Every structure is written in C-alpha cells, then in structure tokens.
Amino acid sequence: MFKKFAVAGVTSLIAVSAFAMNPADLKETVALKDGSTVYVFLDGKMGMENPYGRAVPMPEGQAMVTADGKTVRMVGNEVARVSSLIQIES
C-alpha cells in the first residue's frame, strides 16, 4: 500500500518538472532588492542574473537582500547554468 503511494508521488513530480520545461533543474527564481535575480537550482546551488539580464559571478556565502526584505546567503556560484537558462529564455 505504502509503496503504491510512493510511486504515485514520484510520477507526479516528474510530470510537474516536465510541464515546467526545466532543462537545468531550476527550482525557483528570487527577485532581489537591487534588481538582480537569484536562480535556485534543485540541488540547492544558486546563480545570479544582474539587473541587465546577464549571468554574473557572486562569491559563495555572500549575503543578498530579497525584494521582500529577507536575507539569503549565496550557495555555489552557478554562472554557466544561469547563462544557459537566460539564452533559452531569450
């Protein structure tokens, strides 16, 4: 019984990510106060897009303030992953 539920859960997870068309395992994007965007990937690592729409590096551990006033710290520095996503978007 439990196993059947677990399988259903995995199947719906795959369906959701396929629907989102998510080649780089993007979990979410978060807008920052300064106009930059943080890309958060499913493995927990992050990358930065500056206000001009370019992927830029940021040191791991750097504090960032979100548009709604929260502070998050940079995990990883996924410039290439963000860059490839921006190219797909445009």
Applying CB under 5 A, which residues contact Cu ion?
A: 48, 58, 64, 74
Residue (40 or 74) nearer to Cu ion, CB: 74
Q: Which residue is nearest to Cu ion (CB)?
A: 58
Residue (64 or 82) nearer to Cu ion, CB: 64
Beta-strand relationship, 71-73 and 46-49: unpaired
Least spacing, CB of residue 50 vs Cu ion, in Å: 10
Least spacing, CB of residue 84 vs Cu ion, in Å: 17
Residue (15 or 43) nearer to Cu ion, CB: 43
Least spacing, CB of residue 36 vs Cu ion, in Å: 7
The per-residue DSSP string of the chain comes to -HHHHHHHHHHHHHHHHHHTT-TT-EEEEEEBTTS-EEEEETTS-EEEE-TTS-EE---TT-EEEBTTS-EEE--S--HHHHHHHHHHH-
